[in-house]
């Protein structure tokens, strides 16, 4: 089959210009080839990087080189999905939790892949010669040997969730902070898919989540700028300028021909072997591709060109098996600006995605115009959108002002409630103090009551004793009375009384 994909890095300085291709012969493999004589040494360094990294990384984490000859190196082709693709799919499907899970996988991979070969960052002479002195970064966790090409699209996950590194073009034999590598990877990913991500998640939130602090970022921007200046690529500078929210000067280089690529999928997965190239010689034409007997289609990816530029899509449509026309509209895109059918791409790999009803179709048609200069219509669209955004900003500012007033009212109400609660707290404290005094009085009274109860009990015991004594005296008195009665009723007692009376009379 031969070459099924090629990517040219001609925007670089001559000593780094290479071509990366995927080939299908008896088996699939990847090649990297120097495009200039000056780049031959760079290809040799890429080949040597494998041996350097193999000594410090866990086994089987690198795509292996198959062969090397002057100016060209062949690598094994690894199956899987890049972390870039996995995060983008999760974002498109609004699965925020999954996005963070994949970011965890990325961070953990960077922090463990070179076990035993980490250190604290310090300003070595080698580092300073490339990136300048960075005192604020001293002490951060770093690779002892740094592969700064650990971008999300260079890390593949296979069906067993094992990760592999497919590109290690930029390796430095001195410490570089892991957070710089995270910064480069995330900044490049975010602004390559800005249109799909801007309303879903903010890049600052991703930086914070993976541990890249705001204080570090200015140093990383400066490092990335120095790296871009050395390599001569504008791609990294563009993504940095997007992050800094600066105006991006657009430069369009006229090409003799345009090359578009169309991907057809029934399950939202795209591969080169299910894609088709179109060589476009005229800047204004209609692309037609026959889909008959190609199976069901649910998703279409259209790459209108290789490199940056401006296009205008007049119409995109599918023709189904009953000859019905199905108009399709863009679902997502990595365009940096969209309006009035215009797409402005500042990325080297423009992409537009369409989702359609999953069924068979006869053909797909795109009416497309490649723009070689900013047309008046586009300028009007930009101004129109700018005015619209300004209106939105004013409305949002009014809403913010209204919300701030409500917040102020709520703060006043909150303070009143706090004052009331404080007063209630003071009153409650007084009640508690009074209650504490009453409890003490009750304790004293209870003590007196206990004493009184003891005295009463003693009195009851005395009364009981007196009652017994009284009963004994009553019994004794009764016995004496009975004895007296018995005595007075005897005959001799009566004789005694008679005699006593006679004696009394005789005395008288």
345-367, pLDDT tens digit by residue? Answer: 876 788 898 888 889 999 998 88
pLDDT digits (tens, 9 = 90+) for 45-96: 999 999 999 999 988 899 999 999 999 999 999 999 999 999 999 998 889 9
Higher-scoring residue by pLDDT: 175, 453: 175
Q: Pick the closest to residue 311 from 252, 242, 232, 394 (CA basis).
A: 252
Strand segments (E) across 110-220? 118-120, 141-143, 146-147, 155-157, 163-165, 171-172, 176-177
pLDDT computed for residue 112 by the predictor: 94
The Cα angle at residue 289 between residues 90 and 354, in degrees rounded to 5: 25
Tell me which of 23-37, 196-210, 273-287 is least confident. 273-287
Count of Cβ atoms closer than 10 Å to residue 439 Cβ? 9
Distances (CA, A) of 428 to 79, 244, 423, 424, 504: 72, 57, 8, 6, 97
pTM score, whole prediction: 0.53
Q: What is the mean pLDDT of residues 184-203?
A: 86
Give yes or no for a contact between 109 and 100, defined as CB atoms under 8 angstroms apart.
Answer: no
Give yes or no for a contact between 9 and 16, defined as CB atoms under 8 angstroms apart.
Answer: yes
Count of Cβ atoms closer than 10 Å to residue 285 Cβ? 15
Count of Cβ atoms closer than 10 Å to residue 346 Cβ? 24
Tell me which of 177-181, 183-187, 319-323, 425-429 is least confident. 425-429
Q: Pick the closest to residue 371 from 319, 309, 428 (CA basis).
A: 309
Report for 127-136, 328-337, 498-507: range of highest mean pLDDT: 127-136
């Amino acid at each position: 089959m031969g070459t099924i994909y090629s990517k040219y890095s001609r925007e670089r300085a001559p000593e780094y210009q290479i071509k990366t291709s995927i080939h299908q012969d008896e088996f699939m493999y990847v090649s990297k080839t120097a495009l200039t004589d000056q780049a031959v040494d760079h290809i040799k360094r890429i080949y040597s990087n494998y041996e350097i990294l193999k000594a410090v990384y866990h086994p089987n984490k690198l795509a292996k080189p198959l062969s090397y000859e002057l100016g060209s190196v062949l690598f094994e082709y690894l199956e899987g999905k890049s972390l870039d693709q996995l995060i983008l799919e999760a974002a498109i499907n609004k699965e925020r939790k999954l996005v963070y899970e994949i970011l965890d996988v990325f961070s953990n991979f960077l922090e463990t892949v070179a076990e035993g070969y980490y250190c604290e960052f310090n300003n070595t002479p080698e580092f300073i010669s490339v990136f300048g002195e960075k005192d604020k970064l001293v002490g951060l966790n770093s690779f002892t040997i740094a592969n700064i090409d650990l971008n999300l699209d260079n890390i593949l996950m296979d069906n067993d969730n094992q990760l592999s590194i497919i590109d290690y073009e930029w390796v430095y034999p001195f410490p570089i902070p892991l957070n710089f590598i995270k910064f480069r990877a995330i900044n490049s990913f975010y602004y390559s898919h800005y249109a799909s991500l801007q309303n879903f998640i903010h890049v600052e939130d991703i930086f914070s989540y993976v541990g890249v602090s705001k204080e570090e970022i200015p140093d990383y921007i400066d490092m990335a700028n120095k790296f871009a200046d050395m390599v001569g690529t504008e791609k990294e500078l563009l993504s940095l300028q997007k992050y800094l929210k600066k105006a991006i000067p657009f430069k369009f280089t006229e090409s003799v021909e345009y090359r578009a690529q169309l991907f057809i999928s029934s399950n939202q997965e795209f591969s080169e072997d299910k894609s088709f190239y179109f060589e476009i010689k005229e800047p204004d034409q209609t692309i037609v591709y026959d889909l008959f007997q190609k199976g069901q289609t649910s998703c279409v990816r259209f790459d209108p060109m290789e490199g940056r530029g401006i296009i205008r899509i007049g119409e995109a449509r599918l023709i189904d098996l009953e000859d019905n026309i199905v108009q399709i509209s863009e679902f997502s895109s990595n365009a940096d600006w969209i309006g009035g059918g215009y797409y402005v791409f500042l990325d080297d790999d423009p992409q537009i995605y369409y989702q359609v009803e999953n069924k068979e179709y006869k053909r797909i048609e795109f009416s497309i115009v490649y723009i070689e200069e900013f047309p008046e219509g586009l300028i009007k669209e930009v101004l129109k959108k700018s005015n619209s955004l300004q209106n939105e900003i004013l409305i949002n500012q009014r809403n913010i002002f209204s919300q701030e007033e409500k917040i102020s009212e709520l703060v006043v109400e909150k303070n009143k409630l706090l004052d009331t609660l404080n007063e209630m707290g003071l009153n409650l404290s007084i009640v508690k103090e009074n209650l504490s005094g009453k409890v003490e009085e009750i304790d004293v009274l209870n003590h007196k009551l206990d004493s009184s109860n003891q005295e009463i009990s003693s009195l009851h015991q005395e009364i009981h004793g007196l009652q017994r004594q009284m009963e004994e005296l009553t019994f004794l008195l009764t016995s004496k009375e009975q004895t007296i009665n018995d005595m007075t009723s005897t005959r001799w007692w009566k004789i005694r009384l008679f005699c006593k009376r006679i004696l009394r009379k005789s005395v008288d």
